[in-house]
């Protein structure tokens, strides 16, 4: 139940995109149609779900004084990003081998994920909030799911807004920014909800 709370909190209350504004670049660049947004969203859930536990293991068994009591935390950024980059490359190779159809629909988005701040941000938040191993998996999947929901939502709005009479200079990018701001304000209404109180574990 504790894990479910972390999942819900990461997906809705602390939504990566709409509460922390992480992973904005690919969020704005790939949200023109729902179909591509769907593919990228799935890939993000997947990569977040894998890298989070791996980075947890690295942080706790390599960096935090585990080797001869040395404090190697200054290597955290380099190791985390190396894990993310190699994981993305690995995932890309595996998907290419196992399912060429999926690779063709996802292929271009996979390298983009490496520079998605939501992935590295998730790992850094995990360290800052001192999650344990299973909590880090729940947080990774929840964060990914929240990101997925947000990009699907904006892509759907952007598909619809093409039929509206937006001032020419505001079309496309400008409108996407303002929409995201409005969505962020809407998501603020979820702030302060305590998932532990809702599920009765408290």
Element (H, E) at 14: none
- Comparing CB distances to another protein, the nearer of 84 and 137 is 84
d(C-alpha 49, C-alpha 194), whole Å: 24
- Comparing CB distances to another protein, the nearer of 179 and 196 is 179
Q: Dmax over Cα atoms in the chain, in whole Å?
A: 65
Q: Which residues bind another protein (CB under 8 A)?
A: 19-25, 28-29, 32, 74-78, 81-82, 85-86, 89, 111, 114-117, 119-121, 124-125, 128, 167-175, 177-178, 180-182, 184-185, 188
Going by C-alpha positions, the residue among 117, 152, 125, 132 that lies closest to residue 32 is 152
Shortest separation between residue 1's beta carbon and another protein, angstroms: 28
Shortest separation between residue 113's beta carbon and another protein, angstroms: 10
Residue by residue, DSSP assigns 134-179 as HHHHHHHHHHHHHHHHHHHHHHHHHHHHTTS---GGGTTHHHHHHH
Shortest separation between residue 4's beta carbon and another protein, angstroms: 25
- Comparing CB distances to another protein, the nearer of 78 and 101 is 78
């Amino acid at each position: 139940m504790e894990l479910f709370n972390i999942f819900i909190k990461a997906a809705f209350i602390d939504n990566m995109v709409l509460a922390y504004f992480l992973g904005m670049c690919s969020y704005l660049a790939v949200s023109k149609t729902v179909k591509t947004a769907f593919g990228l969203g799935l890939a993000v859930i997947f990569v977040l779900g894998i890298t989070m536990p791996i980075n947890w293991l690295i942080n706790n068994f390599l960096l935090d004084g585990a080797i001869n009591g040395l404090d190697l935390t200054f290597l955290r950024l380099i190791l985390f990003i190396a894990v993310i980059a190699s994981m993305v490359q690995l995932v890309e190779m595996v998907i290419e081998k196992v399912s060429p159809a999926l690779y063709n629909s996802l292929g271009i988005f996979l390298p983009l994920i490496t520079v998605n701040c939501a992935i590295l941000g998730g790992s850094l938040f995990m360290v800052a909030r001192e999650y344990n191993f299973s909590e880090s998996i729940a947080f990774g999947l929840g964060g990914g799911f929240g990101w997925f929901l947000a990009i699907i939502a904006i892509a759907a709005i952007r598909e619809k807004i093409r039929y509206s009479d937006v001032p020419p200079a505001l079309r496309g990018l400008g409108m996407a920014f303002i929409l995201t701001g409005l969505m962020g304000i809407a998501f603020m209404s979820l702030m302060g909800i305590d998932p532990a109180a809702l599920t009765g574990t408290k």
